[in-house]
């Protein structure tokens, strides 16, 4: 893997940390933008509200001025509001303000980064981008809320648009869409998790490292021809 730096949005979460760890071990400098600092040593961290246009724009400008365009951009940030029982907030209870907030965190934040960084990558003649989506964008049989599903579907559209517009400039753009990832801190109920797992041919939730492995391939030098695609990592649930 070449030595250009990687920028990871939402890189303090469990999937972002797993991706950062792989990229560090492959020899890349890793810069993380997130609301909370990562436990992972060795990364350059900047506390940033990625849904805030002013804060994100200023942070990106400073990074581009100091380091130039990254060779790798991975956007893992995401949020799906839950009720007290750990289940998604019912659509009838989702206000317009909450809907917009979910869209801002999951979709607008990714646009704010890609609209500046992808052209900078193109000017440098090289780039690999992965937006972390969700299988919630591909099926109505989801345990996520409507706003989250809509936002993740929007990421797939952004992926196709940027892949087509910047492919001839050496920038490859893909979405990785995992199903549920096992998380000890996840507040979902045992019953809903069991029902979800029952639909998975492999009989279990994904491990964060399994998803991170796919992301790492897509942003590596080994990926020379795959772009504009959504790669589903769900143990066969949507098959």
Tokens read off for 183: 């998380």
Query: Residue 133 in contact with residue 177, Cβ under 8 Å?
Result: yes
Strands (E), 48-170: 72-75, 127-132
The whole-angstrom separation of Cα 230 and Cα 71 is 20
Q: Which helix (H) or strand (E) holds 51?
A: none
The whole-angstrom separation of Cα 60 and Cα 56 is 6
Active site residue 225: no
The full DSSP string for 165-221 is HHGGGTEEEEEEEE--B--TT----HHHHHHHHHT-TTSSPBPHHHHHHHHHHHTST
End-to-end, the C-alpha distance of the chain in Å comes to: 32
Q: Which of 5, 148, 196, 225 is catalytic?
A: 148
Catalytic residue ranges: 148
């Amino acid at each position: 893997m070449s030595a250009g730096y990687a920028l990871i949005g939402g890189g303090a979460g469990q999937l972002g940390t797993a991706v950062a760890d792989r990229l560090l071990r492959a020899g890349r400098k890793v810069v993380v933008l997130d609301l909370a600092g990562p436990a992972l040593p060795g990364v350059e961290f900047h506390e940033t509200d990625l849904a805030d246009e002013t804060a994100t724009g200023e942070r990106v400008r400073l990074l581009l001025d100091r380091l130039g365009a990254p060779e790798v951009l991975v956007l893992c940030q995401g949020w799906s509001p839950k009720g007290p029982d750990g289940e998604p907030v019912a659509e009838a209870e989702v206000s317009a303000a909450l809907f917009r907030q979910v869209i801002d965190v999951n979709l607008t934040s990714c646009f704010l980064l890609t609209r500046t960084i992808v052209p900078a990558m193109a000017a440098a003649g090289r780039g690999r981008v992965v937006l972390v989506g969700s299988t919630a964008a591909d099926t109505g049989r989801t345990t996520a809320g409507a706003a989250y599903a809509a936002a993740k579907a929007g990421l797939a559209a952004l992926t196709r648009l940027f892949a087509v517009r910047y492919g001839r400039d050496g920038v490859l753009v893909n979405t990785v869409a995992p199903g549920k990832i096992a998380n000890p801190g996840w507040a979902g109920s045992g019953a809903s998790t069991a029902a979800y797992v029952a639909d998975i041919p492999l009989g279990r939730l994904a491990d964060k490292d399994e998803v991170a492995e796919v992301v790492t391939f897509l942003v590596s030098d080994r990926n020379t021809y795959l772009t504009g695609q959504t790669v589903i990592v769900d143990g066969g649930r949507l098959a």
